[in-house]
A = this chain, B = another copy of it.
Amino acid sequence: MAALYGDRDAARGADATFRWLTEEVGEVARALRTGDRENLEHEFADALAWLASLANLVEVDLATAMERYRDGCPKCGATPCVCPA
Interface, chain A (partner B; CB < 8 A): 1, 3-8, 14, 18, 21-22, 25, 28-29, 32, 40-42, 44-45, 47-49, 51, 54-55, 58, 60, 62, 64-66, 68-69, 72-73, 79-81, 85
Check B51 against A69 for contact (C-beta < 8 Å): no
Partner of A45, one of B3, B18, B44, B69: B69
Check B51 against A48 for contact (C-beta < 8 Å): yes
Q: Inside 8 A of A14's CB, which chain B residues have their CB?
A: 32
Q: For the complex, give the distance between the alpha carbons of A48 and B21 in Å.
A: 12
- Contact status of A65 and B45, CB under 8 A, knowing A25-B21, A28-B18: yes
Check A29 against B18 for contact (C-beta < 8 Å): yes
